[in-house]
Amino acid sequence: MQPLPRLMKDRIQDDFLSYLRVERGLSANTINAYKLDLDKLRRYLTGIEKEILTAEREDLIHFVKHLHSTGLDSRSIARILVTVRNLFKFLLLDNRIKRDPSANIDVPKAWQSLPRFLIQEEIERLLETPDISTNLGLRDRAMLELLYATGLRVTELVSVKEADLNLNAGFLTTLGKGSKERLVPIGKSAIRWVSQYVAIRHTLLAPRGSAYLFLTAKGRPLSRQAFWKLITAYGEKANIGHITPHLLRHSFATHLLENGADLRSVQMMLGHSDIGTTQIYTHVTNERLKEVYLKYHPRA
């Protein structure tokens, strides 16, 4: 089969992304994530002189192995596989292929890795990194404290409004996945730092004002991308290495379970609809206990 012209390759991808946007109503962020995943698949297939329409099951299995060899974790590979499956389902429904080569391809269980988390000493170093003598530094300290205290997703964190906070009672209200509302407790340390930030927040407000809690220097709501860059920079500055907002969520859940919290409560605080998703953290704490035992028991 002759290679597809580049225009036709782009048309396949554009048609699929248009389908996701129009027929399935996916957000711009989700569609962009799909595009990045498809770019990985296209680059790989080009390297083995194949096209999307001529890809076979073995090609996709080797693609998964290639992703693993680049250092991607199992969650990222699983997400890319979802994109690939949805693409081939679309092509099958659109009669562009006769069979789905992605059917029944899974991430091997041996590759499934436990979530990374920060130890308490690393958390302390991270929280102490912002320069709290500046208003923006105080804002960043409040955000980091709140993120670690609540385990919020980054989108939930930047979406917090002043009206969502009840610092006297020690909780906030957030909308999670599926627009499900939940109450999340806030600890004393986070309450103290958020209160200090709230006291100076008016200095960041633009003339039009804003309902959102965390603002940029120009008074606009802080975006998830901007906070992602901030926390990454603070991780490097604290000599912890590359960190993400989700790493603090992992740390929040792991530290709660290590200190005796029950799984159901952690599930509610994280906003997981399925307790099976939360159970991954029990494996983390079990591995942690094993490490401590092997390190400190005289006969280990």
Q: Catalytic site residue 249? A: yes
Q: Catalytic site residue 281? A: yes
Exactly one of 21, 50, 246, 288 is catalytic; name it: 246
DSSP symbol at 223: P
Q: Catalytic site residue 246? A: yes
Beta bridge partners of 182: 174
Exactly one of 24, 62, 177, 237 is catalytic; name it: 177
Question: CA-to-CA distance for 227 and 162, rounded, in angstroms?
Answer: 18
DSSP symbol at 52: G
Question: CA-to-CA distance for 186 and 173, rounded, in angstroms?
Answer: 11
Q: If we measure between CA atoms, which residue out of 88, 63, 69, 65 comes closest to residue 12?
A: 88
Adjacency order of strands within the sheet including 165-166: 165-166, 171-175, 181-185
Exactly one of 153, 201, 250, 255 is catalytic; name it: 153
Exactly one of 75, 224, 272, 288 is catalytic; name it: 272
Q: Check: CB of residue 160 under 8 Å from CB of residue 167.
A: no
Q: Check: CB of residue 144 under 8 Å from CB of residue 248.
A: yes
Q: Check: CB of residue 269 under 8 Å from CB of residue 185.
A: yes
Residue type, 244: T
Question: CA-to-CA distance for 124 and 150, rounded, in angstroms?
Answer: 16
Which residues are tagged catalytic? Answer: 153, 177, 246, 249, 272, 281
